[in-house]
């Protein structure tokens, strides 16, 4: 344990390798959180006195992001996890179980968009479809199922699946809707529709438990994936996930939400 100080800040940095890390604070894992919406989500949860685990494939990037948050006085720990690799997920589960004994919040934030926006739906390669689904859907499912035993040990487990308004089948099928003409990322769009469907299925299974499962549309956020035309800043883009991660016992389960408003499936 190392004491650190800076102008206006006094806090303790606990190395990620510490073997005595169990505490009474909520523990949150955010996958793909070394940058962008994931990192901002971790920051906002950390400000609520929640221990945040910065999940990323690259351990150096994970540690750099965790260090950034620790320098802000937050309890952030690096956690190597590649949602496309079963062994990586297994090791991450073992690490969390060893250090904390449970998981209170899982935010499935990791995601990719590989579509060639100059090609039509029928012109996208099968490889693009498969790689997109491997991360956005199958990686999400694998991670969730692996951590479910630890979430069951929580007094109020919360699972937040990062979706998108682009996953709304209703809006895609409705002429005049905000996304009706946006079919340039079909693999991404359909993968998020599948995430929504999985959310409903798992929420039903867990409806009589203390775990709640919801899908979040962060908004069109200024990130690498969001692109140049995005209209929302990062702090606003993280708000929906943070809200769903911290809902009370009377909060929603099996919903598809953006900034407190329910979206059509």
Q: Which residues are catalytic?
A: 188, 192
CB 145 within 8 A of CB 92: no
CB 50 within 8 A of CB 24: no
DSSP type of residue 108: E
Sign of CA dihedral 174, 175, 178, 184: positive
How far, in Å, CA of 18 to CA of 161, rounded?
29
Locate all alpha helices (DSSP H) within 153-257, ordered by sequence.
169-172, 186-205, 234-245
CA distances 115 to 33, 68, 112, 124, Å, are 22, 32, 9, 7
Residue 223: count of CB within 10 angstroms of its CB: 17
Cα 74 from chain centroid (whole Å)? 19
């Amino acid at each position: 344990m190392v004491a650190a100080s800076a102008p206006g800040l006094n806090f303790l940095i606990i190395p990620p390798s510490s073997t005595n890390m169990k505490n009474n604070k909520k523990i949150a894992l955010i996958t793909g959180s070394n940058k962008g919406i994931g990192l901002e989500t971790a920051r906002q949860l950390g400000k609520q006195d929640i221990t945040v685990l910065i999940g990323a494939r690259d351990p150096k990037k994970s540690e750099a992001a965790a260090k950034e948050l620790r320098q802000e006085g937050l309890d952030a720990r690096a956690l190597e996890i590649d949602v496309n690799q079963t062994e990586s997920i297994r090791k991450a589960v073992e690490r969390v179980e060893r250090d904390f004994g449970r998981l209170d919040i899982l935010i499935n934030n990791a995601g990719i968009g590989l579509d060639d926006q100059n090609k039509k739906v029928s012109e996208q390669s099968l490889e693009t479809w498969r790689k997109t689904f491997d991360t956005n859907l199958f990686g999400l499912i694998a991670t969730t199922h692996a951590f479910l035993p630890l979430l069951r040990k929580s007094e109020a487990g919360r699972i937040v699946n990062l979706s998108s308004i682009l996953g709304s089948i209703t809006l895609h099928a409705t002429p005049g809707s905000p996304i009706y003409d946006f079919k340039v990322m079909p693999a991404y769009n359909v993968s998020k529709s599948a995430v929504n469907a999985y959310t409903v299925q798992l929420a039903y299974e867990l409806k009589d438990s203390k775990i709640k499962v919801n899908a979040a549309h962060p908004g069109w956020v200024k990130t690498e994936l969001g692109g140049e035309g995005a209209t929302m800043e990062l702090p606003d883009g993280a708000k929906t996930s943070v809200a769903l991660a911290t809902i009370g016992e009377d909060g929603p389960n099996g919903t598809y939400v953006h900034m407190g408003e329910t979206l059509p499936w």
